Structure 1
Amino acid sequence: MIAIDAMMVCLDLSDIDEKLVAFTRTICERLAVGKVYFVHNVKTSELSEDFRETFGDVDLSKEVEDNIADIVAEHFTGGCDHEILVSEEPNTEVIMAELVKRYKIKLTLLGKRMSDKSTGALGTKLLRILPCSVLVFPETASYKIGKVLTPIDFSDASVHALRLSKNLVDQLGLQLEILHVYRLPSQYFPLISEEKAERKAEELVKERFKDLQKRHKEIAGVPYTLVRAANKSIAERIIIHLNKGKHDLLVLGLKGHNPIPSLSLGSVPTEIYNTDINIPLWLVYSEEVIK
Structure 2
Amino acid sequence: MITIDAMMVCLDLSDIDEKLVTFARSMCERLPVKKVYFVHNIKTSELSEDFRETFGDVDLSQEVEANIADIVAECFAGGCDHEILVSEEPNTEVMMADLVKRFNIKLTVLGKRMSNKSTGALGTKLLRILPCSVLVFPETANLHIESILAAIDFSDASVHGLRLSKSLSDQLGLKLEIMHVYKLPTQYFPLISEEKAIKKAVEVVSGKFKDLQKRHNEIADVPYVLVRAAGKSTAERICLQLRKKKYDLLVLGLKGNNPIPSLSLGSVPTNLYNMDIDIPLWLVYSEKVIK
TM-score norm. by structure 2 comes to 0.98
What secondary structure, in the 3-state scheme, does the structure 1 residue paired with 2:111 have? strand
Amino acid at match of 2:129: I
Is the alpha carbon distance of 1:249 and 1:261 closer, same or farther for their aligned partners in structure 2, counting shifts above 3 Å?
closer
CA shift, 1:263, in A, is 5.2
Amino acid at match of 1:113: R
2:126 is equivalent to residue 126 of structure 1: yes
For residues 9 and 264 of structure 1, the distance between their equivalents in structure 2, rounded to whole angstroms, comes to 23
Query: Which runs of no fewer than 5 residues in structure 1 stay unpaired?
Result: none
- 1:36-51 aligned at under 5 Å gives the runs 36-51=36-51
CA shift, 1:54, in A, is 1.3
1:128–1:257 CA contact under 8 A, matched in 2: no
- TM-superposition CA deviations, 1:230-286 (whole Å, max 9, x none): 111010000101111111100000014859998532110011000000000000000
2:127–2:262 CA contact under 8 A, matched in 1: no
2:105 is equivalent to residue 105 of structure 1: yes
Aligned partner of 2:141 in structure 1 is: 141
For residues 113 and 188 of structure 1, the distance between their equivalents in structure 2, rounded to whole angstroms, comes to 42
Is the alpha carbon distance of 1:263 and 1:287 closer, same or farther for their aligned partners in structure 2, counting shifts above 3 Å?
closer
Is the alpha carbon distance of 1:42 and 1:258 closer, same or farther for their aligned partners in structure 2, counting shifts above 3 Å?
farther
What secondary structure, in the 3-state scheme, does the structure 1 residue paired with 2:118 have? coil
Aligned partner of 2:210 in structure 1 is: 210
What secondary structure, in the 3-state scheme, does the structure 1 residue paired with 2:73 have? helix
Amino acid at match of 1:169: S
2:38–2:85 CA contact under 8 A, matched in 1: yes
2:192 is equivalent to residue 192 of structure 1: yes
Amino acid at match of 1:219: I
Aligned partner of 1:81 in structure 2 is: 81
Is the alpha carbon distance of 1:44 and 1:26 closer, same or farther for their aligned partners in structure 2, counting shifts above 3 Å?
same
1:257–1:265 CA contact under 8 A, matched in 2: no
Is the alpha carbon distance of 1:103 and 1:263 closer, same or farther for their aligned partners in structure 2, counting shifts above 3 Å?
closer
2:166 is equivalent to residue 166 of structure 1: yes
Aligned partner of 2:32 in structure 1 is: 32
- 1:4-43 aligned at under 5 Å gives the runs 4-43=4-43
1:97–1:129 CA contact under 8 A, matched in 2: yes
Using the aligned pairs only, state the percent identity.
80
2:44–2:90 CA contact under 8 A, matched in 1: yes
What is the Cα-based RMSD across aligned positions, in Å? Answer: 1.3
List 4+ stretches of structure 1 deviating above 2 A.
256-264
Query: Which runs of no fewer than 5 residues in structure 2 stay unpaired?
Result: none
For residues 67 and 56 of structure 1, the distance between their equivalents in structure 2, rounded to whole angstroms, comes to 19
Aligned partner of 2:236 in structure 1 is: 236
1:10–1:39 CA contact under 8 A, matched in 2: yes
Aligned partner of 1:155 in structure 2 is: 155
TM-score norm. by structure 1 comes to 0.98
For residues 243 and 234 of structure 1, the distance between their equivalents in structure 2, rounded to whole angstroms, comes to 14
What secondary structure, in the 3-state scheme, does the structure 2 residue paired with 1:214 have? helix
Aligned partner of 2:248 in structure 1 is: 248
CA shift, 1:44, in A, is 1.3
1:41–1:86 CA contact under 8 A, matched in 2: yes
- TM-superposition CA deviations, 1:91-118 (whole Å, max 9, x none): 0000000000000000000000001111
Amino acid at match of 1:133: S
For residues 154 and 2 of structure 2, the distance between their equivalents in structure 1, rounded to whole angstroms, comes to 22
Aligned partner of 2:267 in structure 1 is: 267
